[in-house]
Amino acid sequence: MKIKFLNKINYHMEAIAIISTYVRNESYYEKIKEGLKQKYNIPMDKLDSLYEEISDIYNYVSSKIDTPREKLEFYFSIEEDDEAPSLGYLIMSFALSDDDQDSIERFLQLSARQKIEKYIYLLNENTECSISDIDYSNFDEKYYVNYINNSNLGTNTKLKYILLYYNVEEYIKEVYGIVRKVIEILKEKQDILQSIADEYQKIMSEEVEKYGDKVLENYDIKVYKDKDLVIKPLIVRANTLMLKPWSINDDAEDMSFRKAYIGIHVKVLFDLINTYFINDEKIISTLKALGDKSKFDILKSIKDNQMYGVEIAKKLNITTATVSHHMSNLYNLSLINFVTDNNKINYMLNKSAIEELIKALENIFLN
């Protein structure tokens, strides 16, 4: 399997993400940052810096949305605990896998019946609606309504999906129009968005060069290895993995590769979690390091002052190679920081990591 990261932005996907967040009327990024801080102990200043640019884009676009909120809520609100997509998300599924205009036009030219059949196929494949087979030979109004009513979907979601059967052309026209308006606003920030996508492609392509098809395993992402994988960025939903994007146009049986979307912050967040989150495994590894006399002495020697490797080696009467070996381990455990000065690497104790270790031990054994 080969993995290729692209820098192509799916503006339909990004627009729907903005609309869906806007409908929920929540401080989306503030909520995400607070959750990451509480769960993984990532400093808020790191998170503020990480989300500042895309938060500004979201605020800019959402402030210019002029579609009545009631209409947006009808199409894009989701019932709590309902795993099905919003009506608007389902309707726009013809643009989610790839916003190729030719594919979009092919879908729009289908008959109302053909569109409904594609929608119900997607529901059957991806939601709690799922049944073993859809009998398209007997597919009519009664069959469709019974199918939706017998699903595990919420009451309001069922009603919206049933209404779709009777209003499919009208709903598609209206939702597509809403999304296109938001895309127009988004494209006012096109230079910034493309710069983000370009940087994402650069970073992830470098990861592919280093790790090959195992690159995603570094971030605990499991994928099928039967086909090559083409991955595009998600910007607004920067934390999201979409390894099986909804696709209404593609016939997976005829494709030589799979498509996926991975948020632009997935790698960075994984690195930050590794740095700041102290779980049992990290606690044990850290205590093992502290139990090694050489490592322990090194940390004591840089407790109050920055020192470079040769200085530490002389002070502790050990070789510089030994210092370098220990520093690699200590850095991976976030116990040290370093700065470069005239081609010298100066090491210092990361006191905040020691404080967090003490807090973690207190929470485990004393609280």
Residue 31 in this model has a pLDDT that exceeds 70 = yes
Evaluate if residue 341 carries a pLDDT over 80.
no
Share of residues in the chain with pLDDT > 90 (%) = 56
CB 225 within 8 A of CB 1: yes
For residue 349, the cross-strand partners are 336
Q: What are the tens digits of pLDDT across the range 130-159?
A: 655 788 888 889 999 998 888 888 889 999
Higher pLDDT: 253 or 37? It is 37
- Higher-scoring residue by pLDDT: 349, 256: 349
pLDDT at 332: 85
**Tens digits of residue pLDDT in 237-291:** 999 988 877 777 654 444 678 889 999 999 999 989 888 888 888 899 999 999 9
Helix 69-76 to helix 155-186 angle (10° resolution) is 120
246: three-class secondary structure by DSSP:
coil
Average pLDDT (35-47) is 91
How confident is the model over 91-108, as a mean pLDDT?
87
Q: What is the pLDDT of residues 187-228, one digit of tens each?
A: 999 999 999 999 999 999 999 998 888 888 877 787 777 788
What are 110-134's pLDDT values in tens digits?
999 999 999 988 888 777 666 557 8
Per-residue pLDDT, 250: 54
Asked if residue 364 has pLDDT above 70, the reply is yes
H or E element: which one contains 346?
A: strand 344-349
d(CA 165, CA 144): 8
Give SS3 for 180.
Answer: helix
**Mean pLDDT, the chain, integer:** 89
The CA angle 23-42-22, to the nearest 5 degrees, is 5
Residue 216 burial (C-beta neighbours within 10 Å; 0-12, 13-18, 19+): buried
Predicted confidence at residue 128, as pLDDT, reads 63
Q: b vs e for 286-299, b when ≥16 Cβ sit within 10 Å of the residue's Cβ?
A: beebbeeeebeebb
Q: Can you tell me the distance from the alpha carbon of 330 to that of 151, in angstroms, rounded to the nearest whole number?
A: 54
